[in-house]
Structure 1
Amino acid sequence: MARYFLEVKYDGTAFHGSQLQGDLPTVQLAINKSLSTLLRKEVISFGASRTDEGVHALCNYYHFDFEAPLHPAFLYKLNAILPPTLSVSRMFQTHDPEFNARFAAISRRYRYRIYSKKDPFLVNRALYFPYTINVAALQETAAIIKEYTDFETFSKRNTQTRTFKCTILQSYWEQHETELHYIVEANRFLRGMVRGLVGTQLQVARGRCDTAAFRQIIEGRDCTKADFSVAGHGLYLEDITYPKGQLTEVKDAK
C-alpha cells in the first residue's frame, strides 16, 4: 500500500470549510469524491490543516492510500474532475507508509490580508478595513505574540484540543502596496487562532486598548476577551513544511 500527498489550493468562499461535514460542500468531500471517481473505488483523504468556512489555501496537504499503480496522467485527470475552485498543484509519495499529513507537519504559515480603500477586485480576497491603523502598534503586538506559548485566549470554545501550547516561529506585519499583511508561522494553531490574533491586534491598532492590555488578554486565557470577528476570506493558509527527505514528488508522464 502506497501513501500519497496532494498539495492543494482552493478558494475558501466556495466551501463550508475544509473538513468533512456530512453532505455539505467541503474541500475534503470534493477531494474524496474526485479520488473515488478517478480510482474507481472509495478513497478517503486526510488533511494536514483544518480551515474554516471562507478561509483560502495556497498550500494545504491531503494524504490518501492506494495499492495499485496510478495512471501516468493522474494529476491531469484529477484536476479535470475537481471543481474549478480547487486544484492539486503537486503530488508526492511518502517513504514511510505511516507518514501523516497532519501529525508529521513541522510548521504552518498563515497570511491575513487587509485593505483600506474600496476595491471590487479584493472582495472576498482580503478584509476591507477603512479605518485609521497604527502600524507601529501592530508591529509591537506581533512581537509580543512571539514571547508567549499558551494561546488559550485565542482558541474558540468547543475545541477538542488537549493543549493550548503553540510555538510561534514568525509573527510580523508588512506593507504590500495598498494592502497590509499579517504573517504568522507556528508549529501548530488552535481553532480560530489566527483570526483571533488579527482581530485583537486591530483593536490595539485602533486605540481600543494598549499593548499592556493586549498582554493581559493573552495571559487571561479567556477567549471572550479576544476579537474573532474578522472575516475568514482575508485569511490564507500559505505553507506547510515537513521533515526533509520524507516525500518524493510524483509527476505526470510527459
Structure 2
Amino acid sequence: MQRYFIEVAYTGAGYAGFQIQENAVTIQSEIRQAMAVLFKEEILLTGSSRTDAEVNALQNFFHFNFDQAIQERHIYNLNALLPPAIVIKQIIPMAANAHCRFDAISREYSYHVYKNKNPFLYNQAYYFPYTVNFDLLQQAASAILTYTDFTSFSKRNTQVKNFICHIAESRWSREEDHMVYHVKASRFLRGMVRGLVGTMLQVGRGKVSIENFHAIITGRDCTKANFAVPGHGLFLVKVNYPSDYFMLQS
C-alpha cells in the first residue's frame, strides 16, 4: 500500500470549511467524492491543516493510502470532476510513515483588508471602510512576536489544552489598494489569526491602546479579543515541512 500526499488549493466561499462534516459540503468531502467517482472506491483522507468556513488556501495537503500507482492523468481527471473553486496541484508518493499534519513544522497565513469598495476584492478580502493608523498596526504585529501563550486568541469550545505557539513572522504590508497581515507560526489555534487581526484593527482605529493590546494577550481571556472579521479575508498560504522532506520521503 503506497502513501500519497495531495497538494490542493481552493477558495472557501460556499464551503463549510476544510474538514469533512456531517450534512455539510466541505473541501474534503468534494475531493473524497471526486476520488470515489474516479477510482470506484472510498478513500480516507487525512488533512494537514483545518480551515474554517469561507477561508481560502493557496496550499494545503491531504495524505491517503492507495494500492494503485497514481498517474498524471489521474490528477487531470480529478480536477475535471472537482468544482472550479478547488484544484489538485500534485499528488506525491511518500514513505509509509509520512504524515501531512504531524510532519509539518510551521504554517503561514495572510489576512487581506481593504478600505475602498472594490468588486475585485469582494469575497477575497475584508471590506473595512475606516481610517486605520498603519504604524499602530505594525506596533501591534511586532508585539505579537514577544509572546508564546495565545489563549486570548483561541475561540471557546476548543479541545486544545496547550495554547503555546511560536510566532516566527508577524507583520503588515501595503499591497496596491489593500493591507495584508502576514503571520507564520509553529501552530495556530482555532480562530487565532482572525482574533489577532480583529483586535489589531481596533488598535489601528484607536479603539484599543497598545498597552491594552498587551494586556489582552497576557490576560488569557478570549472574551477581550475581537474575532469579528470574516473568514473570506483569510488565506492559508503555505504548509512548511523540513528541508528536503519530499525528496527524502519519496
TM-score by length of 1: 0.95
1:192 equivalenced with 2:204 (yes/no): no
Secondary structure at 1:92 match in 2 = strand
Whether the aligned pair in 2 keeps the contact of 1:6 and 1:61 (CA below 8 Å) is yes
Q: Alpha-carbon deviations, 1:70-117, whole Å to 9, x = none?
A: 2441110111111111111122121x2121111111110000001111
Corresponding residue for residue 69 of structure 1: 69
Partner of 1:138: 137
Q: Deviations over 1:36-73 (max 9, x none)?
A: 22121110111111100011111111111101222441
Give distance in 2, aligned partners of 1:202 and 1:134.
Answer: 9
Equivalence map 1:1-254=2 (5 Å):
1-94=1-94, 96-248=95-247
Aligned to 1:252: none
3-state SS of 1:42 partner: coil
Contact 1:14 1:85 in 2 (8 A): no
Q: Quick check: 1:164–1:190 contact (8 Å CA) kept in 2?
A: yes
- CA apart distance, 1:181: 0.3
Identity of aligned pairs, percent? 47
- Separation of aligned partners in 2, 1:65 and 1:248: 19
After TM superposition, which residue ranges in structure 1, 4 or more long, deviate above 6 angstroms?
Answer: none
- Structure 1 letter corresponding to 2:200: Q
Q: 1:189-235 CA distances to partner (integer Å, 9 max, x unpaired)? A: 00000000000001110001111100000000000000000011100
The answer to whether the Cα contact below 8 Å between 2:9 and 2:88 also exists between their aligned partners in 1 is yes
Deviation of 1:23 (Å): 3.0
Give 1:248 shift. 4.8
Three-state SS of the structure 2 residue aligned to 1:120 is coil
Determine helix, strand or coil for the equivalent of 2:13: helix
**Paired residue secondary structure (1:80):** helix
Q: Is the partner of 1:75 in helix, strand or coil?
A: helix
**2:49 is matched by which residue type in structure 1?**
S
> Does the Cα contact within 8 Å between 2:70 and 2:91 map onto a contact in 1?
no
> Could you list the runs of 5+ residues in structure 2 that have no partner in the other structure?
none
How many Å separate the matches in 1 of 2:225 and 2:189? 13
Residue 28 and residue 211 in structure 1: after superposition, are their counterparts in 2 closer, same or farther (change >3 A)?
A: same
Gaps of 5+ in 1: 250-254
Q: Deviations over 1:130-179 (max 9, x none)?
A: 10100000100000001000000000011111200000010000000101
Q: From the superposition, tell whether residues 248 and 37 of structure 1 become closer, same or farther in structure 2 (CA, over 3 Å).
A: farther
- 2:119 partner letter: P
- Given that residues 93 and 248 in structure 1 are in contact (C-alpha distance below 8 angstroms), is that contact kept between their aligned partners in structure 2? no
Moved more, 104-113 or 237-246: 237-246
In 2, are the aligned partners of 1:127 and 1:231 still within 8 Å (CA)?
Answer: yes
